[in-house]
Structure 1
Amino acid sequence: MIFLTLILSCGFKEFNVNKKSWWRNEASKAIQNPDIEGSEDILKNATSSGALHCVDDQGLLAIEEALRINNFDAAKMLMSIEDCKYQDEIYREVVLTKNRELFNLIPRDRLNYLLLSEVQNTKVKEIEEDFLRNIEATELERLIVNREISKLREKSKEWILSNYKDIRGSISHFGTRKRINTSEILCVYGEELLEEIVEKLNGSIEGLTQYLLYKASILGIESAVKYLLYKTPMEVDVNKIDEETGWTALMLASRSGHRKICELLLDKGVEVEVYTLGAGISALLLAAEGGHKEVCELLINKGAKIDSEKHTAWTPLINAATHRRKEVCELLIERGANIDFMTSVGSTALQSAAFFGNKEICKLLLDRGATINKLISYDREPLLLNMLENNSIGHLETIKLLVERGADVSAKTKEGLTPLMKAASKGKKEICKVLLDNGAKVDEVLKYRDTALTLAIKKLKFIIDKSFEASVIKIYEDTAKLLIERGANVNIKDSTGTTPLIFALQYCSERMCTILLKAGAEINSSELMCAAKNGYAEVCELILDREPKSDLEYKNGKAALKQAIDNGHKNVCEVLIKRWPKKEA
């Protein structure tokens, strides 16, 4: 059917969301109550998809929740999931636990210089040694980490060069992340050694001082940046783009929130208005993303534009709104940001905040005058529909706010898709209720003759086909039940002439069929046969109670009985035989 093709084109991620949401809820119970029976199985049987992408209503992954309450056993299980590599920020939190066993579960290709900096700050020598062992550190790198200055001074330039690992870039020749290099280790540990090694090498490694400037700017090492800007015999270009990141030193320092480094670079003449090609990323945009208010103020005072045509994908305000940076949003608005600025790909600050369920940011933007029903120009989707594309389970309160503030609950796409249809197709019962309570029409018809009810029932087929848990199936059944209680037409036919009852009998659950029949779904000769074939005894009784005892009904009953016998449904046989106790079955 056309609808099924349309659904498949959206990808399996959408179908899998409620299963993942169910798992995330169960994972939270297991993390908070590890002694409950079955808790360990919930975490051990997790998939990488659920562990990496499914968040709770606070926006936390399961491993983040486990780390925050020091449930290290749960964290170990979540870090041991096959093919599951977390974002670097998660591994940073792992380092901060100072748990050696957890640290050694970090994949070796994720052991970068930012993690090494955190390891240094923990002052746990055993973890530091594990880090060096896992990266197969050279003798030079060990001398740097242990700050053995006198031994290093004894080494020749040739020895240093032979032990200096200078692999740069974000990936290796084998397609995995590159090994941490000696320059990065030097930036983390070698404030006292950096100057000495650079001058001993005297330009023997091409572009070394420029590379060190980028790394020192990220790490915020003031003494190193001062040396590289003012004292090194090899001149650096403060405006040169780092080939590894595509950013300037100012951008790198801004993203990390190092105001003092930014000041040093600005005093040296760095250009504040530099944009990357394509996305139009600027230093101010990166500072806003990181929530670094003081750096944002500095850059604006130095001439950084808050709104620019070069911001093709995001603006500083959009980035701040997306990442829940309320103070930065307030600053940017106060300094003149266009609150409704739309980028060339159709993003606005309100749309981005809504998409990620950031209720507090949405409220701030609306209070400051953001337009609520502005179409998203890139795909012409209204606000509520656009945010429902995101499968986050934390959207309910944000949607309540937006609806209260005037979001159009009946806005449609060109195909006729409404927010209610989208919510129903995702099994979002509570969101459906909010939309219906605020005037959404329950029987709006999509281009292919589907309604919110038929979309919910058809999605239920996929849920059952994929062997989702009973609790997930019930979510869709309850969503459909709500729509019916609110007046949905249970007898509407889609583009193939199929009614919800016929579809449910062919593909769905007995409970769904029972709900439809009790709501007055029409029946004909085929429904009894389908119910008998599937073993739906209660459905058979409901159908028979609606039919007069006629010869035609008896004939249909015999055919249904044969289906029940052929498929081994004893309970259905008993129902059918009971119907005609004095007739030959």
Structure 2
Amino acid sequence: MVTGDAVEGMSGLHAAVHFNLTYWANHLIESRGSIRETNPNKFDNLRETPLHKALIKPIVNDVDIVKALVRYGAKLDLKGPRGYSAMTSAIRYGPSSIAKVLVVSQTDLDVEIFEGWTSFWQAFHHGREIIGKSKIGPSKAKGSQSLRQAVESHAQYLTDLLLERGVDMNNLSRDGWIPLKHAIRYMHNDPSKIERLLKRYPNPSNPRIAAGAISNNRPAIVKLLIEHGADKDKAYENGSTSLIDAINKNHMGIVWVLVDQGASINETDINGHAALTRAVLENEKSISWLLTAKGASIFCPIEDLPNLFCWSLAYNDLSLAWFLCQRQKVADIPNDQGMTPLHWPVRDSHLDAVRFLVQQDVRLKLKDSKGNTPLILATLGREIAIMKPLLGYGALADGRDNQGLSALPHASRLDFHEGVQVLLRWSSDRNLVDSKGFNALHHAVVSDNGDDALILLTTACVRLERYEEHGRKPLMLCAQLDRLYRAKQFLLDGTKSGAPCPRGWNALKHAEHYGSENVQGHLEFLDRDI
């Protein structure tokens, strides 16, 4: 018999296993001799237990010996010279027969057998790792394939065994690892393996981790997970959703799957962007059209615009604008300031968008919160090129804002020569007055530069003798403000300088009272001449 110190610190049990002395190994185990010779957990000088010996140098009856060692109390989690426990070594490197014995002997399948790893995690994870570490060149491809198949068979066998024993597949490791997450990442070429985890009965794998399949762009896997209960609308920690995340990552195949599986298309991320918003910003036309066709709402702010329809107009994406028009009633819907989609391109001088909208039969007389129609906005912006199509498609030239001003007095106050000309042609009432009683001539008088507009207005026969709310005619305003050129124009056109206001003041009295020396001198000269 080999004694304890005969070979490198081996006990009798070590030696019996090492030298393939099956009879003596069984005899020592069963005889329960001295602890020194028969302790199944004693380390030799190589830091190996008898169980490690059985794995490192397999023998004919190794399964029987391993069974006996386990039955006699051999610990499965003691680390050998390479830092691996016997259990870990058997799962990683085989043989399968011994690994089976060790797996079957486990009473608690969730106990860690090696630095945070359970036997199930080891079997599921390390089959791929072993294959990856085999450095076999192209000339030995056949051998490499055989090795790969052998390792896969070994891992599959142990996995099946552990699943049959009822192992919990949803038990997270210390770093959050679970088998399904691993399968999604590395077994995507064979969805049947993932499906098997999801269909296991009882206790199937929890499909909650669809995010991993989305990140790795696995449409078929995402669909499979959703069909088995994965939350397709799960909110991410960063405020995103599955659908928005897929769009941001340009994983369009997954987008189609999520939409087809009924993912919510109107949920927004932390920036307030819905899926349709992200698709438009990513210039994904097909996805934009898909989401719109599925009923995605366009009514969410984007940049400084109230909705996607306005955004498509602002960026001249008229094909998208047209499509949105066909799917939803959006062309006339105002924001909280009353701005309709037509107001925005008018304000921003976007002629193409204006032309597009008027051809869609939008309502041209709608007003914003200040009472501005699109035509008034175009006038305020001195945009004659925009005013013309608005008027040509039926915009009301005499529509008024909240102060009662139509486009004509606005153009007159701005001395917007072209605008005044166009509006005079389209106006049905050139003598409209605002809430203060001002007509277009009054506004031309108070303008810093109203000379040209005044000539156009007087030539067009706008009323010269119109009183505003304080009883002042346009000539009296000229006298008050000392607008000599404009006063002369009124006098040439026949305005009577001596007509009084309700206070009894004529134009000269206004000039005297307000110290308007130029107009006063001219009126006094006319009086002397008369």
TM-score, normalised by the number of residues in structure 1: 0.42
Pair member with larger Rg:
2
TM-score, normalised by the number of residues in structure 2: 0.45
Q: Which has the higher contact order (CA 8 A, sep 6+)?
A: 1
